[in-house]
Amino acid sequence: MLSNFLQKQQYNCVRNFTSRSAERIVKQQLQEIRNAGTWKAERIINTQQSALIGVEGTYNKVLNFCANNYLGLSNSPELMQAAKDTIDSHGLGLSSVRFICGTQNIHKKLESMIAKFHRMEDTILYSSCFDANGGLFEGFVDPVKSKVAILSDALNHASIIDGIRLSGKAKRYRYNHIDMKDLENKLIQAQDQEVRIITTDGVFSMDGDVAPIEKICDLAERYDSVVMVDESHATGFFGKTGRGASEFCNVLDRVDLINSTLGKALGGSSGGFTVGKKCYIDMLRQRSRPYLFSNTLAPAVVGASIKVFDILLKSTELRDQLEKNTLYFREKMTKAGFDILAGEHPIIPIMLYEGKLANEFADEMLKRGIYVIGFSYPVVPKGEARIRVQISAGHTKEQLDKAIDAFVEVGKLKGCLKK
């Protein structure tokens, strides 16, 4: 009754504004989000990103288990120095799109290194993989001049979905998550088109499961289709030499296009790219809208990224450490009785099923100095709420143990552990 009264007060307050209907409607919708319990609040971090971070409102530092900082490079002294050196040599910014006066020698160098790392022909840089996905489907072939079909896994990333929405007249197919039979049916349906492109996350971000890329390549060859893989949760650390899910599935040489990010494992500042066959990259340079109409990548980011690929081309030490950490954590948590989606990836979903429980669990974890986030509807399906842990090469064994102990303590408290 009190909440009804307050809500009415707020509504009356809104109506007293000489505001427009838009404002009234937006405020109503904001209230609905709060009521539904799906409001996203931002915690404020007052340190560098690292395994151990300072969060405002928390006295002691906490251990971060929910960043995409897979190789622990987000505050790497080596990369930070490279960024600063490149600011000195190449300035703060270019204030230009690539083709006017926004290409420096370092951009070409980074593109070469990324192509070399992936054993592909050429690379095109973007501000983010979000933009790389946004520009790909409309850009790599003219959908006005040719009949194009796009076949997309149902659980692909939001940025791929948006890129497909921007693909104009292209015919869109969605195949059930990693369902190769459904994909094959749709490839057959799409034979009346001139060009087909299958697009999939290499690793899916909510479950950490890997796409069956080998089977996808088999189908693509049989039914004459291009294969594009988004390796954002894989580049640098997944696969034997960190060359992604495509390498993990032993088909790096059969995938046509890889979109990925510099904003996760590879330093985390910003940037994305498409790497692949030269003719596709050439076409994207001529047509891709985020490339033609948005600022070129900042020198600092380019310089740090050149250093990252330097490191990755020389040694697999970091991804080996991450793999070790991941196996250790998975083993211990499974033994402790938690329900963990099986897999090998550092994304580890601790299944709790019920949304309210997931949020309360995360709060209890924070009290014990472990920073994790509960994911519930609508981010994941109803009844599949979880805490999504992300392991880093930067986590020490002590830090992993501290997290595991906290999980077990809260798990017992909440009755989540299997007998």
Choose between 261 and 326: whose C-beta lies nearer to a copy of itself. 261
Task: Kindly provide the b/e burial profile for residues 323-353, where b requires at least 16 CB atoms within 10 angstroms of the residue's own CB.
Answer: bebbebbbebbeebebebbebebbbbbbbbe
Q: Could you say which of 6, 9, 84, 413 contacts a copy of itself (CB under 8 A)?
A: 84
Asked if 50 interacts with a copy of itself (CB under 8 A), we say yes
- φ, ψ (nearest 5 deg) of residue 257: -135, 135
Should residue 49 be labelled a site residue for a copy of itself when binding is judged by CB under 8 A? yes
Q: Which one among 6, 11, 23, 310 touches a copy of itself, defined by CB under 8 A?
A: 23
The one-letter amino acid at 79: L
Strand order of the sheet with strand 148-153? 122-126, 272-276, 257-261, 226-230, 195-201, 148-153, 171-175
Residue 39 interacting with a copy of itself (CB under 8 A): yes
Residues 210 and 239: beta-carbon distance below 8 Å? no
Q: In angstroms, rounded to a whole number, what is the distance separating the alpha carbons of residues 157 and 180?
A: 19
Which residues in 164-183 contact a copy of itself (CB under 8 A)? Answer: 165-166
Does position 194 interact with a copy of itself (CB under 8 A)? The reply is yes
The nearest distance, CB 189 to a copy of itself, in angstroms, is: 16
Please select the residue that binds a copy of itself; options are 116, 224, 317, 397, rule is CB under 8 A.
224
User: How far apart are the C-alpha atoms of 371 and 344, rounded to whole Å?
Assistant: 22
Look-up of token digits 């006005």:
144
Nearest to 196 by CA among 161, 172, 175, 226: 226
Q: Which of residues 240-279 bind a copy of itself (CB under 8 A)?
A: 256, 261, 263-265, 267-270, 277, 279
The string of DSSP codes covering 165-182 is HTSTT-EEEEE-TT-HHH
The correct pick among 58, 103, 316, 321 for binding a copy of itself (CB under 8 A) is 103
Residue 33 or 313 with smaller CB distance to a copy of itself: 33
Nearest distance from C-beta of residue 417 to a copy of itself, angstroms: 26
Say whether 106 sits in a helix, a strand or coil.
helix
Q: What part of residues 355-414 is at the interface with a copy of itself (CB under 8 A)?
A: 371, 373
Question: In whole angstroms, how close is the CB of 272 to a copy of itself at the nearest point?
Answer: 9
Q: Which is nearer to a copy of itself, 263 or 355 (CB)?
A: 263
To a copy of itself, the closest distance from the beta carbon of 419 in angstroms equals 33
With a CB cutoff of 8 Å and minimum separation 6, the contacts of 256 are: 226, 227, 228, 276, 277, 280
Window 295 to 334, contacts with a copy of itself (CB under 8 A): 295, 297-301, 304
Q: Which stretch binds a copy of itself (CB under 8 A): 104-112, 207-215, 328-336, 340-348?
A: 104-112
Residue 79 touching a copy of itself (CB under 8 A): yes
**Set 90, 107, 186, 264: catalytic member:** 264
Q: Are 321 and 346 in contact (CB under 8 A)?
A: no
Determine which one of 107, 118, 157, 233 is catalytic.
233
Binding to a copy of itself by residue 92, rule CB under 8 A? yes
d(CA 64, CA 331): 20
36 binds a copy of itself (CB under 8 A): no
344: phi then psi, degrees, rounded to nearest 5:
-120, 0
Q: Does 191 bind a copy of itself (CB under 8 A)?
A: no
The residue type of 109 is K
- Work out how close the CB of 129 gets to a copy of itself at its nearest, in angstroms, rounded to a whole number: 8
Question: Is residue 12 near a copy of itself by the rule CB under 8 A?
Answer: no
Catalytic site includes residue 264: yes
| Host H or E run for residue 310 | helix 299-314
In the complex, the smallest distance separating the C-beta of residue 54 from a copy of itself, rounded to whole angstroms, is 10
Kindly state the number of chain residues that form the binding site for a copy of itself, as judged by CB under 8 A: 110
Rg (CA), the chain: 23
Which helix (H) or strand (E) segment holds residue 319: the answer is helix 317-335
Structure tokens at 374: 């509960």
| Active-site residue, from 76, 205, 246, 392 | 205
Q: Is 233 a catalytic residue?
A: yes
If one asks whether residue 229 binds a copy of itself (CB under 8 A), the answer comes out as no
Tokens standing for residue 47: 């340190």
Measured distance CA(45)–CA(366) in Å, rounded: 14
Identify any residues that bridge with 228 across adjacent strands, giving them in sequence order: 199, 257
Which residue from 7, 37, 43, 185 is in contact with a copy of itself, where contact means CB under 8 A? Answer: 43
In the bound complex, what is the minimum distance in angstroms from residue 212's beta carbon to a copy of itself?
Answer: 20
Beta bridge partners of 371: 64
Restricted to residues 110-169, the positions that interact with a copy of itself (CB under 8 A) are 127-131, 134, 140-142, 145-146, 157-159, 162, 165-166
235 touches a copy of itself by CB under 8 A: no
Q: Which residues are catalytic?
A: 205, 233, 264
